[in-house]
Copies of this chain bind each other. A is one copy, B any other.
Amino acid sequence: MASTVGARSAKPMYLQIADDIEEQIKSDRLAPGEEIPSEAALMERYGVSSGTVRKAVAELRTAGLVVTYQGKGSFVKSRPPVTRKSSDRFRRSHRRAGKAAYIAETEQAGVKPTVQVLSIGPVPAPQEIADRLGVEEGAKVLARRRLYFSDGTPTEEATSYLPWDVARDIPELFEENPGGGGIYARLEDHGHEFAEYTETIRARIATKQEATALRLSPGSPVIHLTRNAVTTTGRVVEVCDTIMAADQFVLDYRIPATD
C-alpha cells in the first residue's frame, strides 16, 4: 500500500495521514479491533517526524475512530450495537414481567446487559438533585450508584436518588438486587403510583472520572440524562442522574401534538 500523500498538497500532513487511515477504516480495509500501523511504521511510510504522526493519531482519537493504549498501539474502535432508549422502557407491563427498565431497553439491541452496583447508602443531596426532589440541599437521601455493561463493555453510569422518608420504608432499595422489575416496581408496591417521567438531556465531553469509568478516550462525548419519576400526587420520588457513552445510545421520544 503506497502512500498517496503529496508534499505539495495544501492540507497539513498530519490531516492527510489521518484522512488516509480514516478512509481505510471507513472502507473496512482496517476492521474494527484491528491495529493501525505503529508510530514508527507511519514515520517511515510517510517520511515525517514522530510529532506529526502523533498529531495524526490524536485526530483519529478525537474523531472517535481509534483507541490508543500505551505500550500496545492504536486500534480501530469496534462499533458496538447501539441501544435505543425509548419511552416504552417504563411500561408497567415490563415491570410486571419482572424486567427493570434497563433490561427492557437492551433486549432489542441484542446485547447482554449486566449491572455492577458501586454503592448504596445515604448521602447529602446535591443542589440540583435536592431541587428536583423538593428537599433542602444537603438533606439525607438514599443514593444507589451503579455501572451498566453491554457485552462486558461499560456504557452507562447512573445514580438514583430517593427521598429518605420514601426509601426507609422499602428495605429492597438498600439491597444490590431490588427484585424483579427494579426499584420502580418496589416503589409501586409501596403505593407510589407513577404519573410520568421527565427527562432532561445534555451532551458534553466526558470528565476524566467519567472517561475512566466508561473506558472512553479523553475527549469522548457523553450524554447526560437526568430523569424525574413523578407520582400521581405530583411528588418526585426518584431522580436518576445518568452519564452514557454517546456512541452507544440513541434516544427516542414521542411528543403528542397539543393545543
Contact = CB atoms under 8 A, between A and B. Distances in A.
A204 B62 contact: no
Interface of A: 51, 62-64, 87, 90-93, 193-205, 218-219, 221-223, 246-247, 249-259
Contact of A252 (B200, B221, B247): B200
B219 A257 contact: no
A253 B87 CA distance: 10
A166 to B, nearest CB: 17
Nearest to A256: B196
A246 B218 contact: no
Contacts of A246: 202-204, 221
B221 A221 contact: yes
A250 B202 contact: yes
A257 B90 contact: yes
For A92, A199, A205, A257, which residue has the most chain B Cβ atoms within 10 angstroms?
A257
B255 A199 contact: yes
B218 A62 contact: yes
A200 B219 CA distance: 23
A249 B224 CA distance: 12
A198 B64 contact: no
Given A219-B62, A221-B221, A201 B259 contact: no
A250 B200 contact: yes
A197 B62 contact: no
A14 to B, nearest CB: 12
Contacts of A203: 203, 221-223, 246
